[in-house]
Homo-oligomer: A and B are copies of this chain.
Amino acid sequence: MRPSGRAPDEMRAITIETGYTKHAEGSCLISFGETRVLCTASVEERIPPWLRGKGEGWVTGEYSMLPRATHTRGQREAAKGKQSGRTQEIQRLIGRSLRAVVDHKKLGERQITLDCDVIQADGGTRTASISGAWVALRLAVDGLMKSGDITQDPITAKVAAVSCGVYQGTPVLDLDYPEDSNADADANFVLIEGGKIAEAQATAEGAPYDEEAFLRLLRLAQMGCAQIFKAQDEATRK
């Protein structure tokens, strides 16, 4: 029995509010239940030094939690003077996931930064971030195509992410905080619409897992991402 009463394969409600901030070229507030992340896409007509002159663009991600997004207040990373290992791991994951669906040649020599700032945390902040970042990216690229800065769509597919885990012996979809903090195993899947995998990470927190459990988690992730792809579609069609 899940603390929330959800069925093992039941996602939390997904909502995506586009245009949440006015300055960003693309933005949305994405919610997976009580987890809320503000995702913005910022287009800059400059490129990291190592890419200069190659005629290619770059997509990168940044991630942060507001200090009181969580149950107890966390110290600001800006005040501590450095980003935690967890933060850096997540922002590297966000960047890799989005780059998996971007044709950098078609993007042209510009950089798009996807900022994912967690307003409220209840498990699954990194997967909500990736899923929302795609929406922000889509909106920003739509703008570049409308203005004629880009002529061919550089986005090759939708990408979405969801967490799964083994909670009290049962594989479940879309862990919330009470589940996440007690799971035996914890997995994050980044899937591409059409069936391919961009990234799979499955960690044994309590007891190690076997191949069969892994495959069940992957199956759940496929079900979850299907719903996220649908929500992304509706949000960006508007």
Contact = CB atoms under 8 A, between A and B. Distances in A.
Contacts of A197: 202, 204, 208-211, 214
A83 B88 CA distance: 10
A50 B73 CA distance: 16
Nearest to A203: B199
Contacts of A238: none
Interface stretch (A3-11, A62-70, A146-154, A223-231): A62-70
Contact of A115 (B21, B68, B72, B89): B68
Interface residues of A, number: 62
Given A85-B92, A88-B88, A71 B23 contact: yes
Nearest to A100: B204
Contacts of A204: 100, 196-199
B85 A23 contact: no
Contacts of A233: none
Interface stretch (A38-46, A125-133, A167-175): A38-46
